[in-house]
A and B are shown apart, each in its own frame.
Chain A
């Protein structure tokens, strides 16, 4: 180049360079375009804002818009309804959520958590590096340090001294990886996850009756029923888009019965509200079954051809104690209401859908509650048909999937039993191992916590993923002690929580918006999570972390996955219900399992012609007697306490309390108290009272209202500053080990001024 050209070029360069430097970031103006010589070629971007164009003798910086906005369709990380929405991603960061009208589950509609629940994703509180406890303080550490420490410690303990808690919030791939890690690397049978705390009774109960522990029908069946019998489910708050289906049925003339001690928003929509005492569900259901049998409204064809044990069931429920009078007394419900419910069940035979949730399962008789529901639907013949079924509204977004993946102490993926030698061999061969933990059931979460609290010499090491037991398990003080006793605790989460404080190592995982994966909703529909942005800082995908630890411990070859799809493809070969599902097939509507082959369209309704999971294909009916809850009211603790969730928050609040729009509506806890009880106790609305039980006590503001049954209190459990689980009972169902969150005895005292 001639000297003058060089000088000219440099002058131009600096002119434009300074123009760029002085201007406002991200402001662009189309009239700044200098003359472009042809043909321009883009050779380099100085910043994300500018495009550098080179041509024959000039380098020109052209202000250009390279803003990128895209929508990533994904599924919701909150409840088990499994709605879809679009995450709006601007230049690589999630800034908003928008409707996805295509989804067959929610058709673009969302509840408050769907609309605002993304706000926690880019919270500054996100864990971005591993933390290691040194001299009692948790300090940031490198991955190498953390992995080395973990590998060293995991290797120190015997298999039975270690336990793993997986997460129903994480995708199927993460859960499959976790239970494989526990069984292959740690060689422990002690694997569990929070289904234990909610729908384990559904899994166990329906398995015992039908041979399959999942909901029998789909959400669309709720929209097409003639009667929706809702018991122990406040679906307006807990599963709003499933509640919508019930409202659609109601609009078409269906009747709605809601059984709940509280006049919940769901109960307010009912044609009949049965406000029974907590823990009296079997009494209620047996009573209805008694009259169905005595009036000969039973579907005999169905019972004769498709069930065993009818006579035993009949002998039990036709006892006098299940008559209207006695039931009315025990349940605290007028006889007329029971009679009306019975009449509607009869009138809507073969088009009645039962809907239940944690009001049924979180009891010491949770499994039996679920079985009773299964029985009543079976004798009416309301199984295997559209508009019918036992519809368990699974709580967590992927609790169904976590169960399907075998993150449970009694089964491997696909519900292959750890006690079945054939199943054990199949899994062991597939994984290429010889020492698979089997033949003995592992510890359940309540047992893990009990052992850590009272016999810490037996359980010393815990690897915990996406769970906050101090907030979500009963007897919170006991859990604190358990965590304190744990010799080596590793917690993998996205935020610091009350539980991470006790950890020796905290690992930063990724949230739902930062990973590709699959999750399974309450109607067995497998849908996609799609990655919308990178995890912050050094946080990694959850299964990737397990792979890293496994590799450090010499098991890398067993975790040789590069993508989430690799994990899924490995999983589906050993999981019969998922065998025919591929990522490609999941575009669009998702697929409801079982889907045994790749050309199978999926299964909306189960048990249409046979109960495939039962040895002879027939449902098993049995006698189940009503029993009182573990703790009943008495002179010292004269009130029933029941606990539950609200529409604004998710259980331990770590995600939703970081969403300003959700927190604003529901910033702290309250104690629902009937007006008459408040009058007797001399308590005013808003007054802070001391709620106590045999486990502990908590100060909370009273909310005096008419919507709760006299003699019963309710408290939401999301709030660390007013922890409902300080007073709840650890008594659990002997089969499913699910704690009795829904019933305990309490007393209330006025606080000193």
Chain B
């Protein structure tokens, strides 16, 4: 019987599955769907080419085979789709593949009653970061000097973005460039990925990847870490059913995996410092935020895609707060977003990636979130702890503030106890 924290190497015994590294993830999904442990698998598949990841809502196990593999252009976030299209998994069971940001988003939506996590099985995927399709193609054409349509495989490994392609003579070629070098030039991963510290998504039920697969199984097995009881039960069931086989991990592999994670987390912290410092301080920072957001065209992509946003009647749509029909909208629009989201921002980057005016929304929000985390000690996306801005009974709170006899709200709420 497995338990939380157990680790092993796992690989598929299903001849039909060709995994990226062992095929354990696809096998687990297939096992769950075939045995009706879940009604649907929500994962990502290749669309028109490997630069086009699209969500796949799968009910037929046979379709899972085509979702095997990894797509580093997979910048999309899945949990909100469960809220929007699967009724929050309230009357169905779903298995979903999650990056770190997806797993954190799941928790935030669950806290706000938008997803029933008891009905969700999360298969976590190690993630070193994703690259937008446009950036990937641009990078490959300009920096690698390769026709992006000739690339048939891409990956991030050992700090490099590596492509495999067929050259003009039809021969297979490899080319890798260090991520650091790419990112020095403004290429490479999304900015929020560069700041991210959640590389191994232990918020999921089972965390899988290829870091730490060392020795004779290298490239042929998936590293599996059990992260919950639900995960343990499912994994054991899968092993018992014979769809996957396991063996103990090599000690050296464990060491490597730990090292990689540490390096990436350190890199994330370093990038946070670098990117946040560039924002400046005080009124300088505010002026910069106001200037950048002056390009806003009120498309609502940030709100529609944010996993923290869920209100049916968004405050930004209330005419007494934000005048309708004007672009750029009153700065109050942005203030409402900052006020309501900043304590729980999980740095998923959707608001910035999807902003038609390239406003660095995620950068601003994440910068505020880290400050709020220092002040209130709340880390979003890791468990069901309610956010700082959890609902308070307004009447009671107003009465309490009134009773202080003072109008200095900040002091009353945040000040030292007298």
Residue of A99, A101, A236 most packed against chain B (CB within 10 A)? A101
CB distance from B89 to the nearest CB of A (A): 12
* Residue from A90, A101, A116, A251 in contact with B76 in the complex, judged by beta carbons closer than 8 Å: A101
Q: Does B383 contact A (CB under 8 A)?
A: no
Task: Output the nearest chain B residue to A99 by Cβ-Cβ distance.
Answer: B354
CB neighbours (8 Å) of B324 from chain A are 664-666
Q: Which of A222-257 contact B (CB under 8 A)?
A: 236-237, 240-241, 243-244, 247-248, 251
Is the pair A109, B134 in contact by a Cβ cutoff of 8 Å? no
* Residue from B73, B92, B301 in contact with A110 in the complex, judged by beta carbons closer than 8 Å: B301
Given A28-B39, A107-B133, A109-B356, CB of A240 within 8 Å of CB of B297:
yes
Q: Does A387 contact B (CB under 8 A)?
A: no
Complex formed: what's the CA distance from A243 to B297 in Å? 11
Complex formed: what's the CA distance from A111 to B299 in Å? 5
Q: Does A378 contact B (CB under 8 A)?
A: no
Of A64-72, A304-312, A492-500, the stretch lying at the interface with chain B is A64-72
Which range contains the number of A residues in contact with the other chain? 35 or more
Q: Does A86 contact B (CB under 8 A)?
A: yes
Is the pair B301, A648 in contact by a Cβ cutoff of 8 Å? no
Is the pair B85, A90 in contact by a Cβ cutoff of 8 Å? yes
Q: Does B75 contact A (CB under 8 A)?
A: yes
CB neighbours (8 Å) of A104 from chain B are 134, 137
Task: Output the nearest chain B residue to A116 by Cβ-Cβ distance.
Answer: B300
Contact with B along A65-81 (1 / 0, CB 8 A): 11111110100000000
* Residue from A102, A108, A268, A664 in contact with B48 in the complex, judged by beta carbons closer than 8 Å: A102
CB distance from B238 to the nearest CB of A (A): 17
CB neighbours (8 Å) of A624 from chain B are none
CB distance from B90 to the nearest CB of A (A): 10
Is the pair A269, B295 in contact by a Cβ cutoff of 8 Å? yes
Is the pair A73, B48 in contact by a Cβ cutoff of 8 Å? yes
Q: Does A96 contact B (CB under 8 A)?
A: yes
Is the pair B91, A28 in contact by a Cβ cutoff of 8 Å? yes
Q: Which of B39-72 contact A (CB under 8 A)?
A: 39-40, 47-49, 51-55, 57, 59
CB distance from A527 to the nearest CB of B (A): 12
Complex formed: what's the CA distance from A129 to B54 in Å? 36
Residue of A27, A99, A104, A665 most packed against chain B (CB within 10 A)? A665
Is the pair A109, B301 in contact by a Cβ cutoff of 8 Å? yes
Complex formed: what's the CA distance from A648 to B297 in Å? 10
Q: Which of A367-392 contact B (CB under 8 A)?
A: none
CB distance from B347 to the nearest CB of A (A): 18
Given A27-B91, A71-B55, CB of A236 within 8 Å of CB of B75:
no
Task: Output the nearest chain A residue to B135 by Cβ-Cβ distance.
Answer: A107
Given A28-B92, A110-B299, CB of A241 within 8 Å of CB of B356:
yes
Is the pair B49, A108 in contact by a Cβ cutoff of 8 Å? no
Given A109-B301, A265-B297, A647-B327, CB of A102 within 8 Å of CB of B356:
no
Q: Does A398 contact B (CB under 8 A)?
A: no
Is the pair A30, B93 in contact by a Cβ cutoff of 8 Å? yes
Is the pair B297, A111 in contact by a Cβ cutoff of 8 Å? yes
Residue of A29, A69, A243 most packed against chain B (CB within 10 A)? A69
Complex formed: what's the CA distance from A68 to B57 in Å? 7
CB neighbours (8 Å) of A108 from chain B are 132-133, 353-354
Complex formed: what's the CA distance from A297 to B75 in Å? 47
Complex formed: what's the CA distance from A106 to B132 in Å? 12
CB distance from B353 to the nearest CB of A (A): 7
Contact with A along B279-306 (1 / 0, CB 8 A): 0000000000000001101111100110
Is the pair B325, A665 in contact by a Cβ cutoff of 8 Å? yes
CB distance from A707 to the nearest CB of B (A): 10
Is the pair A96, B84 in contact by a Cβ cutoff of 8 Å? yes
Is the pair B85, A33 in contact by a Cβ cutoff of 8 Å? no
Is the pair A65, B300 in contact by a Cβ cutoff of 8 Å? no
CB neighbours (8 Å) of A421 from chain B are none
Q: Does A348 contact B (CB under 8 A)?
A: no
CB neighbours (8 Å) of B84 from chain A are 96
Given A99-B354, A107-B132, A109-B354, CB of A237 within 8 Å of CB of B300:
no
What's the count of A-B pairs with C-beta under 8 Å?
136
CB neighbours (8 Å) of B357 from chain A are 240, 243-244, 247
CB distance from B129 to the nearest CB of A (A): 15
* Residue from B55, B73, B304, B328 in contact with A115 in the complex, judged by beta carbons closer than 8 Å: B304
Task: Output the nearest chain A residue to B73 by Cβ-Cβ distance.
Answer: A101
Q: Does A149 contact B (CB under 8 A)?
A: no
Is the pair B356, A240 in contact by a Cβ cutoff of 8 Å? yes
Q: Does B336 contact A (CB under 8 A)?
A: no
CB neighbours (8 Å) of A90 from chain B are 85
Q: Does B179 contact A (CB under 8 A)?
A: no
* Residue from A33, A73, A244 in contact with B36 in the complex, judged by beta carbons closer than 8 Å: A33
Is the pair B300, A666 in contact by a Cβ cutoff of 8 Å? no
Complex formed: what's the CA distance from A646 to B325 in Å? 9
Q: Does B266 contact A (CB under 8 A)?
A: no
CB distance from B301 to the nearest CB of A (A): 6
CB neighbours (8 Å) of A112 from chain B are 297-300
Q: Which of B355-411 contact A (CB under 8 A)?
A: 355-358
Complex formed: what's the CA distance from A538 to B55 in Å? 32
CB distance from B294 to the nearest CB of A (A): 7
Task: Output the nearest chain B residue to A105 by Cβ-Cβ distance.
Answer: B134
Q: Does A88 contact B (CB under 8 A)?
A: yes
Is the pair B299, A268 in contact by a Cβ cutoff of 8 Å? no
Is the pair A67, B59 in contact by a Cβ cutoff of 8 Å? yes
CB distance from B316 to the nearest CB of A (A): 11
Q: Does B317 contact A (CB under 8 A)?
A: yes
CB neighbours (8 Å) of B355 from chain A are 109
Residue of A29, A96, A112, A661 most packed against chain B (CB within 10 A)? A112
CB neighbours (8 Å) of B53 from chain A are 101
CB distance from B94 to the nearest CB of A (A): 10
CB neighbours (8 Å) of B358 from chain A are 244, 247-248, 251
CB distance from B289 to the nearest CB of A (A): 16
CB neighbours (8 Å) of A96 from chain B are 84-85
Complex formed: what's the CA distance from A243 to B358 in Å? 11
Complex formed: what's the CA distance from A102 to B149 in Å? 13
Complex formed: what's the CA distance from A704 to B7 in Å? 68
* Residue from B92, B298, B353 in contact with A65 in the complex, judged by beta carbons closer than 8 Å: B92
Given A65-B92, A73-B47, A107-B132, CB of A666 within 8 Å of CB of B325:
yes
Is the pair B132, A70 in contact by a Cβ cutoff of 8 Å? no
CB neighbours (8 Å) of B39 from chain A are 28, 30, 65
CB distance from B350 to the nearest CB of A (A): 9
CB distance from A38 to the nearest CB of B (A): 14
Q: Which of A262-289 contact B (CB under 8 A)?
A: 265, 268-269
Complex formed: what's the CA distance from A605 to B297 in Å? 29
CB distance from B136 to the nearest CB of A (A): 10
Task: Output the nearest chain B residue to A62 by Cβ-Cβ distance.
Answer: B36
Contact with A along B299-325 (1 / 0, CB 8 A): 111001100000000000100000011
CB neighbours (8 Å) of B92 from chain A are 28, 65, 67
Is the pair A588, B48 in contact by a Cβ cutoff of 8 Å? yes
Is the pair B51, A102 in contact by a Cβ cutoff of 8 Å? yes
Task: Output the nearest chain A residue to B137 by Cβ-Cβ distance.
Answer: A104
* Residue from A69, A73, A115, A240 in contact with B57 in the complex, judged by beta carbons closer than 8 Å: A69
Task: Output the nearest chain B residue to A90 by Cβ-Cβ distance.
Answer: B85
Q: Does A478 contact B (CB under 8 A)?
A: no
Complex formed: what's the CA distance from A236 to B47 in Å? 30
* Residue from A65, A86, A265, A665 in contact with B40 in the complex, judged by beta carbons closer than 8 Å: A65
CB distance from B187 to the nearest CB of A (A): 15
Complex formed: what's the CA distance from A102 to B324 in Å? 32
Q: Does A681 contact B (CB under 8 A)?
A: no
> Considering the complex of A and B, which 10 residue pairs feature the smallest CB-CB distances, nearest first?
A69-B57, A102-B52, A109-B356, A65-B39, A666-B325, A107-B134, A665-B324, A665-B325, A102-B133, A112-B299
Question: What are 10 A-B interface contacts by the 8 Å CB criterion?
Answer: A86-B54, A102-B49, A104-B137, A236-B297, A236-B327, A237-B297, A268-B294, A588-B49, A588-B52, A666-B325
Other than the given A73-B54, A115-B300, 14 more pairs (CB < 8 A) read A26-B91, A65-B92, A67-B59, A99-B354, A101-B52, A101-B76, A104-B134, A107-B133, A109-B354, A112-B300, A236-B327, A240-B299, A269-B295, A647-B327
